[in-house]
Amino acid sequence: MTFRESAAPIRSVWPAIFAGFALLLSGALSILSVRVFGLTAGFGFLPLTILAIWPRRASEVASVILVFLAGIFTDWATGGVVGQWALTFTLVWMLFRPELREQPYAAVKLMLVWGLICGFAVLLLSISGWVVYRILPDPTSFALQILMATLLLPLVLLLRRWLAHLFGDADEWRR
């Protein structure tokens, strides 16, 4: 399969719905944190792991709508300014579209994409936070949230593979 072919698969709605639900769930869980050795690591970047492995065959229009709605939900759940996570999710999805991933499951590329996603999200959140609060964000908090999400990324990936295996039309949405 050439890159051009892999980059333009036929889309369907169900993978987007699955991924949207996962994003919604991770948005709800993003309010959690764990405190170890005096440092509090939040799960704030957990939804970005879902965006990093968004199904390549998911309907784009449905994906955009669900990503935006999950962002608004995350803003409400975390008590932040409404629109901040929605903007971040949408722009991250837009910039790192699933079809841009040539080899979806290549570990090195996934980590590279993941690093870029985190960097881009930090930039977006810092700018939008500056616009609203007129202060720069706490870098330690960002670092710990990225660390926590990076530790959970393999688990999320395994969960997705398991779900893809579980459903009959796995090929439709696992890629």
Residues at the interface with other proteins (CB under 8 A): 7-14, 28-29, 31-37, 40, 42, 44, 59-61, 64-65, 67-68, 71-73, 76-84, 86-87, 90-91, 94, 99, 125-126, 128-129, 131-133, 135, 137-139, 141-142, 145, 169, 172
Q: Closest approach of Cβ 141 to other proteins, in Å?
A: 5
Dihedral pair phi/psi, residue 39, rounded to 5°: -110, 135
Closest to other proteins by CB, 87 vs 116, is 87
* Diameter of the chain measured on Cα atoms: 50
Q: Closest approach of Cβ 102 to other proteins, in Å?
A: 15
CA distance 6 to 84: 32
CA distance 136 to 48: 21
Closest to other proteins by CB, 126 vs 150, is 126
CA distances from 163 to 68, 105, 166, 167, 173 (A): 23, 15, 5, 6, 10
What one-character DSSP code corresponds to residue 99?
G
Closest to other proteins by CB, 107 vs 127, is 127
Q: Closest approach of Cβ 59 to other proteins, in Å?
A: 6
Helix (H), strand (E) at residue 31? none
CA distance 133 to 154: 34
Closest to other proteins by CB, 14 vs 157, is 14
Q: Closest approach of Cβ 12 to other proteins, in Å?
A: 4
Residue with the two structure tokens 């295996």:
165
Closest to other proteins by CB, 53 vs 62, is 62
Q: Closest approach of Cβ 109 to other proteins, in Å?
A: 20
Q: Is the dihedral of CA 74, 137, 147, 41 positive or negative?
A: negative
